[in-house]
Amino acid sequence: MEEARQRHGLWPTATAALGRAMTGAALLAATLKGEEELTLQLVGDGPLGRVVVVASATGAVRGYVEHPEVHLPLKADGHLDVGGAVGQGELLVIRDLGLKEPYVGRVPLVSGEIGEDLAYYLAHSEQIPSAVALGVLVDVDGRARAAGGLMIQLMPGHREETVAAVEQAVQRLPALSRSIDGGRGPRQLAEEHLGALGIRWLAERPLRFACTCSRERFERGLVALGPEELQALLEEQGEAETVCRFCAAQYLFDREDLERLLREASGSAEA
Ligand SMILES: [Zn+2]
């Protein structure tokens, strides 16, 4: 999360919002396999604009907010006002499972606080009763000190007393970001708060901020503009700089590069 903050130059409320979205997407992606990935989009009318995160089965997470320089006054309870920064709108979850069409689920935003919105999405769009707790701790100097969360889902065939026990555990959950900052990892968090239910550990997956962009990818994008637009770009600017939205990496294409890409674009246009 701290890498994302640095790359995008996020202000505190934006850091909390993207951190919660990245954590939530990573939790949702826990059930993906192989090359599968999912995209989480918060499309709200708040100052952040769109919040977009992609998480993959390999544990790679990348994401951005449309307007990174957002910081709102704290809420009455002292928390960062993520709901105010996101605003009202929709939550979209796009699962690309390698089929022809990706699966898109959409629900209205409940509060824009993201954890609540994900729980609502899971209950209504995927019919899985769930609790989602997400926390990001932003330091006084603006750095992301801690980020993490828990997602609890009731499996088919669960018993009534399990529902009650989970509800109680969820109500007693503390602010997770403080626990994580205090050094607790996912195992300890689960043991501490859900241990009474009996835990069986199935899998563990490391997470990291990682993007899939490359110079080649942006080259293909430039070629796809077509010879006319490339010619105009060459004449008007003489070079092109592209910036990846997901990781803020910059790629510069000078005159020579653009001339080569123009030849490529002209060649493919003729062919
Ligand atoms: Zn990138």
190-236: pLDDT as tens digits: 998 888 888 999 989 999 999 999 999 999 999 999 999 999 999 99
Ligand 1 geometric centre to CA of 127 (Å): 33
Coil, strand or helix at 122 = helix
Is residue 271 predicted with pLDDT exceeding 70? no
55-99: pLDDT as tens digits: 999 999 999 999 999 999 999 998 999 999 999 999 999 998 777
Ligand 1 geometric centre to CA of 210 (Å): 8
Ligand 1 geometric centre to CA of 42 (Å): 19
Contact in structure between 152 and 167 (CB atoms under 8 Å): no
Confidence of residue 42 (pLDDT cuts 50, 70, 90): very high
Ligand 1 geometric centre to CA of 217 (Å): 10
Residue 19 is predicted with a pLDDT of 98
**pLDDT > 90 in the chain, percent:** 77
Ligand 1 geometric centre to CA of 214 (Å): 7
Ligand 1 geometric centre to CA of 250 (Å): 8
Those residues with Cβ within 8 angstroms of residue 168's Cβ, 6 or more apart along the chain or in another chain? none
Look up residue 161 and give its two tokens: 């007393």
Confidence of residue 112 (pLDDT cuts 50, 70, 90): very high
Ligand 1 geometric centre to CA of 245 (Å): 6
Ligand 1 geometric centre to CA of 232 (Å): 26
- Judged by average pLDDT, the poorest of 1-5, 168-172, 213-217, 262-266 is 168-172
Ligand 1 geometric centre to CA of 179 (Å): 31
Ligand 1 geometric centre to CA of 182 (Å): 31
| Domains of the chain in sequence order | 2-209 (3.55.30.10), 215-270 (3.90.1280.10)
Kindly report the backbone phi and psi dihedral angles of residue 234, in degrees, each rounded to the nearest multiple of 5, phi listed first.
Answer: -60, -45
- Beta strand pairing call for 51-56 and 60-65: antiparallel
Ligand 1 geometric centre to CA of 212 (Å): 6
DSSP assignment of 21-88 equals: HHHHHHHHGGG--TT-EEEEEEEESSTT--EEEEEETTSEEEEEES------PPPTTS---HHHHH-S
Ligand 1 geometric centre to CA of 113 (Å): 26
Residue 231 is predicted with a pLDDT of 94
Ligand 1 geometric centre to CA of 63 (Å): 9
- Residues around the ion ligand 1 (C-beta < 5 A): 211, 213, 244, 246-247, 249
